[in-house]
Amino acid sequence: EAQVTQNPRYLITVTGKKLTVTCSQNMNHEYMSWYRQDPGLGLRQIYYSMNVEVTDKGDVPEGYKVSRKEKRNFPLILESPSPNQTSLYFCASSGGQGAGGYTFGSGTRLTVV
């Protein structure tokens, strides 16, 4: 089944403790992206990647890092999480032009206390 897989689905952590949210897609998509979703603010793009080793900032990149060492994986790294990063995070991938938009994962709900 074609899908984007995120892990974990739920995570509670403490301020300052580094964490990684993994994302993997099995569709051989070149393009991947991370979003956060907050009430009243909708979905905001954090980072995106157009290919292996090619990443760029979205609208809200501060406090996040990403890497794209392999085509299928696009982990999101929070080096020093803070409570304002408590949010619902989505990873997505796309086959590019004409592919009909991004395919989203099921989400990771992160709580930073």
Partner 1 sequence: GESVGLHLPTLSVQEGDNSIINCAYSNSASDYFIWYKQESGKGPQFIIDIRSNMDKRQGQRVTVLLNKTVKHLSLQIAATQPGDSAVYFCAETRGGTSYGKLTFGQGTILTVHP
Closer by beta carbon to partner 1, 4 or else 66:
4
Q: Kindly tell me which residue out of 55, 60, 105, 112 binds partner 1, with binding defined by CB under 8 A.
A: 105
Least CB distance from residue 65 to partner 1, whole Å? 18
Closer by beta carbon to partner 1, 50 or else 52:
50
Query: Is the bond leading into 8 cis (omega within 30 degrees of zero)?
Result: yes
DSSP-assigned letters across all residues of 64-112? -EE--SSSSB--EEESS--GGG-EEEEEEEE--TTS-SPEE---EEEEE
Q: Kindly tell me which residue out of 24, 25, 33, 85 binds partner 1, with binding defined by CB under 8 A.
A: 33
Least CB distance from residue 31 to partner 1, whole Å? 4
Least CB distance from residue 63 to partner 1, whole Å? 18
What does the block give as tokens for 87? Answer: 């949010």
43 part of the interface to partner 1, by CB under 8 A: yes
SS3 18: coil
112 CB neighbour count, 10 Å cutoff: 20
